[in-house]
Structure 1
Amino acid sequence: MEQGIICFENARFSVITENLIRCEYSESHSFLDAQTSFAACRRYNGCEYYVNPTEESLEIRTGEVRLIYRPDGSGFTAGSLYGELGGGAWHFGDKDEKNLGGTLSTLDGVDGYRKVDDGLLSRSGWFVFDDSEGVPIEDGWLKTNVNRRETDIYLFSYGRDYKKALKTLFYVSGKVPLPRKYMLGSWYSRWWPYTEEELLAIAGEYDENDFPLDIMVIDMDWHHHDWKYRDNEECRRHKATYGYGHAGNLGWTGYSWNRNLIPEPQRLLDAMHGRGIHVALNDHPHDGIRSHEDCYPAFMEEMGLAPESGVNLEFDVGNRRYMGAFMKSALSPLKEIGVDFFWVDWQQDYVKPYIKGTRMRHIPWLNRCYYEYTRGDGKRGASYSRWGGIGDQKYPMHFSGDTGSTWECLRFEVEFTAQSSNVGLMYWGHDTGGFFGERNPELYVRWTQFSAFSACLRAHSERAKELDRRPWKWGDAETKAMRTAYHLRSRFMPYLYSLAYSAYEDGLPMIAPMYLEYPEREEAYENPQQYRLGPAVLCAPVTVPCAANGLASQHVWTPDGVYYDFFTGRAYGPGSHDFACPLAEFPLLIRGGVPVPMQPYTARMGSAILKELVIRLYPGEAGECILYEDDGISEAYQNGQWLKTRLAGRREGEAVVIEIEPFGDGYAGMPQTRRYTLELVGFGRALSPDHDGETSFEDGKTTVRLGEYPIRENLVITLR
């Protein structure tokens, strides 16, 4: 018997780690060894465990779990499977009343608080994942028409070690890979029938109005659909006559460019790429490739069928041949002319709840298919779609859906986004400002501030003239405030991308609820309005309108150490604090003593090479931070092609010492030299370095611009 596997009568138990045991029950002894969407690796990790079988029962013990199985002829029951999880008693079927919540597959239609599904983390110290309906995946594809009758559950036991729980999840279910770096940048998206000229003009307006832009998303008007029908040959030839007719439109699905709006797609894509802007297309694939599409003949030939038949095949995501022909015929021509990735906008579970021959929803498999398809050509996979459940963390990023534009929804999204990390979901992209609702400039500013310090800064809205989310169209004060937020996003990009790598390598969420770091502190569970953004940043977005005095309130709990308001420089020790914030400010607190890697503002934050590293430091206990860099686009980081730089700060009497220690093999395109700028804030006086450089002191901040150094050179800089 394979190590870690214990069989006892009609049950099989798999010790995977010391805090994870898989429990299967099957009358026919038909146990599943194939992968599922959830289970990517069930390999025993070598932990110590103890097995005590008797004629009537089986006991399994690890350092974290005590499990007893006493068969009673009825499968797993509360009386037959029980033990100790998370330091307390547990019985099969127990309801966890202390679960800390997880996420939802979508926020479509949400305009306020919603109850979320359970997550992995619980104050009970345990979690049970039921994979009994998990569809087997063999040879890289799901198996249809499999009638699973066994019980298949995973017992997680972790006590208050929430970080260990997440690492265990990623061990069994798969890590969260690094997204393409530019996907962490600035997105513009709008459901609007833009022409080629208008899209290029908007790209230019971003530069003219001093806003960064990394991604241009073209919603469904890039292809033909009923609501943009014109009585001309182009539209008549591409008019859909078959399909589900979602919301009275047969044209949600489409793969033929609308040349009434975009006559030369290649020209548009080349122009965008020439400006350093990536392009994504909206895709509602539910109607598949129909007879009016330009790609229909090639698709039918790939399927071994006659194009002249005019047959419209059902979209069949579970059929390997169909999906291969679909990707090759519909998506490859788009990819070949420069489309960078696709926004998969599946909303049709109300019509087709499950993939044919399975009990699997469409989204988890669609996300896998699109992510894997976009891999290759030296690039990481890229997906943007709704959440497909635990296991879908392997295919970032995720689209939260069409939300209402309300203060209540913004308030909920802040808590929801941090809470979603409890299931390993690290990269939510929201409709900043909300998708539908009334025009509210102040609300849009506050939502932008939240998005600027989350995983994705994406502007999007419905087909309403007054909701165009170009940030310079919302009033002078609002534009200035949003420009500040966008610029901060650009300046913090080296830090944010380093957090993205930590999510992959260490399983630590970019956006984490406070209890992940402080599980024993009651306050950590009582302040969902704030979140940790890595080791150096604490953020509490403003989610209420300004009072008559022009200030908006927010409450912040600082657990330990000293934190500094990024905007005012004011210091806050441990405790609870009330903030009153003007429109352009919000509680963005930097931990004293931890050097923060930043960069000068750049309009293409997600693809700019880090030629000048800005290190910002506030007074506090000695701390450090790891700057992570790679090529931003390939999977070479998984093979060690990266550069890390340890940044450390400490006090030596009246002096401040900053250490810069690069290490690693480097990466393709890495610059060989770089400049350094030091920003020391809150030290109360001007500081002078022991290295040559330009030094200035203004508004309590010492700025030191050092010269250019080899990128691999260690530096120790003392300032007095």
Structure 2
Amino acid sequence: MVWSGDVASSWKTLKDQIPAALNYTLSGMPYWNADIGGFFSSRNYPKGNKDLLYQELYIRWLQFGLFTGMMRSHGTDTPREIYRFGKPGDVAFDVIKEYIGLRYRLQPYIYSTAWAITSENGSLMRPLVMDYPQDKVARDLGSEYLFGNSILVAPVTDSIFAKGVLALDSVSTISQNIYLPRGDWYSFDTGEKIPGGQWVQQSFTLNQMPIFIKAGTILPLANEAQYSSIQNFQTLNIRVYPGKDGSFELYEDEGDNYNYEQGKYSTIKFSWDDKNRTLTIDDRKGSFEGMPQNHLFNIQVMGTMNKKAIRYNGTKMIIRLY
């Protein structure tokens, strides 16, 4: 997997990583990553992780890194382990832990998207022009992108300290303009529905990042885990974002080998009928050693009170979510 090189730790460098990644993926290479926090940090931040200015930069870079092919913290001069940034209850520690946890929660979406890329081509980081070629704003926008087909991210690349804030906290906000292409979008954090085809201005605390979900998305989320090899998709939270028909194919395999090349994997297709408010879960296709025979799907239609927990045993189900 290609990375952006041994880059410097600076806000300008962080800002430049986004178009660098998008231009690279447009060349036909689906995976890219960067040294989270920058490789060389001592010149700009001689106190390293004890410097509040560096902590802010590192957190915003980590948030961006979550939505790349590999979330990889790496560099010289400054150790990057989470405990180097404080302890539970400290702002930096808590935000770092939250976003590492989010990466694990998104694993079903990321892993399934990786399979779609393998089997059907495509890219994990998608410049908006790939999905909205007629949108003149989207054509030249290098500050935000789609992560997979459904998640729009607009990483924060400006310092809150540069706006006059004197402390690292979870209250102070920074304002950012975000472009949402046509269609309806939902805030990942709040669930607020926002019409697209416009610029929106929103404010974000240090523990918030601009993340928006496209209407029609079926988003599978796992529980957090200490590491991926103990994580499975047997229990998943399935978020349905209404406003449009949509589908998603959940991919599973043994997770630690190349047996999928011999066909040892399974897929489960989810389809959302927006008009009739039904979620269809098709028959599971394929199998692999250790495959869970049953799943618990906790389904929620976002923006409504409609929730259902269902047990799925591999045979087709139609769930009405009025």
Task: Determine if the TM-score, normalized by the shorter chain, exceeds 0.5.
Answer: yes
Distance in 1 of aligned mates of 2:297 and 2:176: 35
Q: 1:607 Cα deviation (Å)?
A: 5.1
Equivalent in the alignment of 1:661: 282
Q: Give the one of 289, 303, 312 matched to 1:709.
A: 312
* 1:429-480 Cα deviation digits (max 9, x unpaired): 3211111121300010101101111111111121x3xx21112332511111
Q: 1:536 Cα deviation (Å)?
A: 1.5
* 1:238-277 Cα deviation digits (max 9, x unpaired): xxxxxxxxxxxxxxxxxxxxxxxxxxxxxxxxxxxxxxxx
Q: Which has the higher contact order (CA 8 A, sep 6+)?
A: 2
**RMSD between superposed Cα atoms in Å:** 1.8
Equivalent in the alignment of 1:488: 102
* 1:512-534 Cα deviation digits (max 9, x unpaired): 11111122221112221011112
Distance in 1 of aligned mates of 2:207 and 2:283: 36
Contact 2:282 2:316 in 1 (8 A): yes
Q: Give the one of 239, 242, 257 matched to 1:619.
A: 242
Q: Give the TM-score normalised by structure 2.
A: 0.87
Is 1:471–2:85 an aligned residue pair? no
Distance in 1 of aligned mates of 2:81 and 2:131: 37
Distance in 2 of aligned mates of 1:458 and 1:580: 27
Aligned CA distance change for structure 1 residues 508 and 424 (closer, same or farther; 3 Å): same
Equivalent in the alignment of 2:263: 640
Contact 1:594 1:648 in 2 (8 A): no
Q: Give the one of 40, 52, 60 matched to 1:436.
A: 40
Q: In terms of Rg, which structure is larger?
A: 1
Is 1:517–2:131 an aligned residue pair? yes
Distance in 2 of aligned mates of 1:537 and 1:662: 26
Contact 2:229 2:256 in 1 (8 A): no
Q: Give the one of 289, 295, 312 matched to 1:674.
A: 295
Contact 2:284 2:315 in 1 (8 A): no
Distance in 2 of aligned mates of 1:423 and 1:658: 36
Q: Identify unmatched segments of 5+ residues in structure 1.
A: 1-396, 688-701
Q: Which amino acid aligns with 1:709?
A: Y
| Matched residue SS, 1:677 | strand
* 1:212-263 Cα deviation digits (max 9, x unpaired): xxxxxxxxxxxxxxxxxxxxxxxxxxxxxxxxxxxxxxxxxxxxxxxxxxxx
Is 1:408–2:12 an aligned residue pair? yes
| Matched residue SS, 2:228 | coil
What count of residue pairs does the alignment treat as equivalent? 300
- Counterparts of 1:552-591 in structure 2, within 5 Å, are 552-574=174-196, 575-591=198-214
- Counterparts of 1:285-364 in structure 2, within 5 Å, are none
* 1:264-299 Cα deviation digits (max 9, x unpaired): xxxxxxxxxxxxxxxxxxxxxxxxxxxxxxxxxxxx
Contact 2:8 2:38 in 1 (8 A): yes
Distance in 1 of aligned mates of 2:283 and 2:237: 15
- Counterparts of 1:161-172 in structure 2, within 5 Å, are none
Distance in 2 of aligned mates of 1:453 and 1:606: 20
* 1:94-150 Cα deviation digits (max 9, x unpaired): xxxxxxxxxxxxxxxxxxxxxxxxxxxxxxxxxxxxxxxxxxxxxxxxxxxxxxxxx
Equivalent in the alignment of 1:300: none
Q: 1:626 Cα deviation (Å)?
A: 1.4
Contact 2:31 2:123 in 1 (8 A): no
Equivalent in the alignment of 2:169: none
Distance in 1 of aligned mates of 2:18 and 2:157: 9
Distance in 2 of aligned mates of 1:430 and 1:537: 20
Distance in 2 of aligned mates of 1:502 and 1:555: 31
- Counterparts of 1:18-29 in structure 2, within 5 Å, are none
Distance in 2 of aligned mates of 1:660 and 1:451: 32
Is 1:539–2:150 an aligned residue pair? no
Of all paired residues, the percent bearing the same amino acid is 28
Q: Which amino acid aligns with 1:715?
A: M
Distance in 2 of aligned mates of 1:433 and 1:588: 20
| Matched residue SS, 2:287 | coil
Q: 1:424 Cα deviation (Å)?
A: 2.2
Distance in 2 of aligned mates of 1:644 and 1:443: 39
Distance in 1 of aligned mates of 2:7 and 2:230: 29
Distance in 2 of aligned mates of 1:398 and 1:535: 21
* 1:144-198 Cα deviation digits (max 9, x unpaired): xxxxxxxxxxxxxxxxxxxxxxxxxxxxxxxxxxxxxxxxxxxxxxxxxxxxxxx
Distance in 2 of aligned mates of 1:472 and 1:659: 44
Q: Give the one of 225, 229, 233 matched to 1:602.
A: 225
Q: Identify unmatched segments of 5+ residues in structure 2.
A: 49-53, 166-171
Equivalent in the alignment of 1:718: 320
